Amino acid sequence: MATPSLALAQSEWPNRPIRFIVAFAAGGAADTAARAMAADMQEALGQSIVIENRTGGNAVIAASATLQAPRDGYTFLVDAANQLTNPILMRDLPFDYAQSFVPVTQISSFPQVIAVRHDFPARNLAEFIAVAKARPNTISVGTPPAAGMAHLALAAFEQKAGIRLVHAPYRGGADAARDIMAGSIEAALITTSSIRPPVQAGRARVLAVTSLERIASLPDVPTIAESGFPGFDMNDWNGLFAATGTPAAAITRLAAVAAVSARAPAVRARMDPAGAIMVGNTPEAFANWLTIQRRTAAEVIRASGITLG
């Protein structure tokens, strides 16, 4: 049974609009997933959720704005892999991510794919690896952006497959998709939604997906894990974080509402076509997952020498 103080806090919260500070530009996959879930969540919460996009500084600007706000349960951060990579890649950070933020819930996961342009001489992942071994340091692979989850997935794949590729960083997945469609790069590691236009135009082929299991939007495409690299699981993602010191009752209720909204028909109708997997897990499950992801990211970055440049 909840204690009187906890029950009171839960009954009183929220009594005014909630703010989600999103570290990414409006219209992107992470922003779209956050807005879709927030639109459904505000119905259950009885208060509006205001989305505020604060880009720049490799997501540090949004994180700092969240930490500077009152820790009263009305300001939350929508962030992603920056929570894992910034502590390793950036010097003189004004805060410690692991100590300054409390995981609330993972909003969504975005499976990524390894795709090649239509005339590339490989029909599957094994053939791609064979070509890469025969042509080391010559195959250009686009990812968005430098040091993002796609870049980490590419570096991890290179390490496991024993190949050397040429990384081509892009500002966004749409830019990499445009260039693989034009034939400017030979391959790309981008999300399922980003690769759709060149695939539909017959200008690219998908060889494998980075998720642990096959995905509904590409049921015939094997995973990297089942193609000889067991356990490979490196999707892009985004999640909701609170500044440390935010009332536990607010975090608990927000996560519970998010879990329901992640499965809401309106949210699924909006996000399923984009290939997003809505999650809405508990703070504890999200925290445990982040612990593993931090370790994996650190290992990949240090082994491959990834930088933000």
The two most distant CA atoms of the chain are separated, in Å, by: 68
Q: Check pLDDT > 60 for residue 10.
A: no
Position 242 confidence tier, pLDDT thresholds 50, 70, 90:
very high
Residues 168-211 have pLDDT tens digits of 999 888 899 999 999 999 999 999 988 999 999 999 999 999 99
Task: Give me the CATH number covering residue 82.
Answer: 3.40.190.150
The encoded tokens of residue 182 equal 């034009």
Position 11 confidence tier, pLDDT thresholds 50, 70, 90:
low
pLDDT (0 to 100) of residue 217: 87
pLDDT (0 to 100) of residue 21: 98
Q: Do residues 47 and 105 share a domain? A: yes
User: Domain boundary residue among 227, 251, 273?
Assistant: 227
Q: Is residue 269 part of a domain?
A: yes
Residues 260-279 have pLDDT tens digits of 999 999 999 999 888 889 99
Q: Check pLDDT > 50 for residue 167.
A: yes
CB 183 within 8 A of CB 216: no
Q: Is residue 144 part of a domain?
A: yes
Q: Do residues 122 and 198 share a domain? A: yes
Question: Is residue 302 left, alpha or beta, with left meaning phi > 0 and alpha meaning psi from -120 to 50?
Answer: alpha
CA atoms within 13 A on the CB side of 21: 22
Q: Do residues 201 and 279 share a domain? A: no
Q: Is residue 309 part of a domain?
A: no
Residues 154-171 have a mean pLDDT of: 96
Q: Do residues 103 and 19 share a domain? A: yes
Q: Do residues 214 and 130 share a domain? A: yes
Q: Which domain holds residue 118?
A: 112-227
Residue 207 CA to residue 119 CA, distance in Å, equals: 13
Q: Do residues 54 and 81 share a domain? A: yes
Q: Of the given ranges (113-117, 200-204, 213-217), which has the lowest mean pLDDT?
A: 213-217
Q: Taking the C-alpha atoms of 262, 23, 83 and 196 in order, what is their torsion angle to the nearest 10 degrees? A: 60
Q: Do residues 132 and 202 share a domain? A: yes
Q: Do residues 171 and 241 share a domain? A: no
Residues 283-301 have a mean pLDDT of: 95
**Amino acid at position 296, single letter:** T
Q: Is residue 300 part of a domain?
A: yes
pLDDT (0 to 100) of residue 309: 66
Residue 176 CA to residue 187 CA, distance in Å, equals: 9
pLDDT (0 to 100) of residue 71: 98
Residues 151-180 have a mean pLDDT of: 94
Q: Do residues 65 and 83 share a domain? A: yes
Q: pTM score > 0.75 for this model?
A: yes
The encoded tokens of residue 213 equal 């299991």
Q: Do residues 103 and 136 share a domain? A: no
Reduce the secondary structure of the chain to three states and give it as a string: CCCHHHHHHHHHCCCCCEEEEECCCCCCHHHHHHHHHHHHHHHHHCCCEEEEECCCHHHHHHHHHHHHCCCCCCEEEEECCHHHHHHHHCCCCCCCHHHHEEEEEEEEEECEEEEEECCCCCCCHHHHHHHHHHCCCCCEEEECCCCCHHHHHHHHHHHHHCCCCEEEECCCHHHHHHHHHHCCCCEEEEEHHHHHHHHHCCCEEEEEECCCCCCCCCCCCCECHHHCCCCCCCCEEEEEEEECCCCHHHHHHHHHHHHHHCCCHHHHHHHHHHCCEECCCCHHHHHHHHHHHHHHHHHHHHHHCCCCC
Q: Do residues 253 and 292 share a domain? A: yes
Q: What is the per-residue burial (b if ≥16 Cβ within 10 Å, else e) of 105-128?
A: bbbbbbbbbbbbbeebebeebeeb
Residues 75-95 have a mean pLDDT of: 95
Task: Give me the CATH number covering residue 157.
Answer: 3.40.190.10
User: Domain boundary residue among 180, 195, 227?
Assistant: 227
First to last CA, the chain: 52
Q: Do residues 118 and 93 share a domain? A: no
Domain count within the chain: 2
* Sheet-wide strand order for 18-22: 49-53, 18-22, 75-79, 236-243, 101-110, 277-278
User: Domain boundary residue among 227, 260, 289?
Assistant: 227
Q: Is residue 177 part of a domain?
A: yes
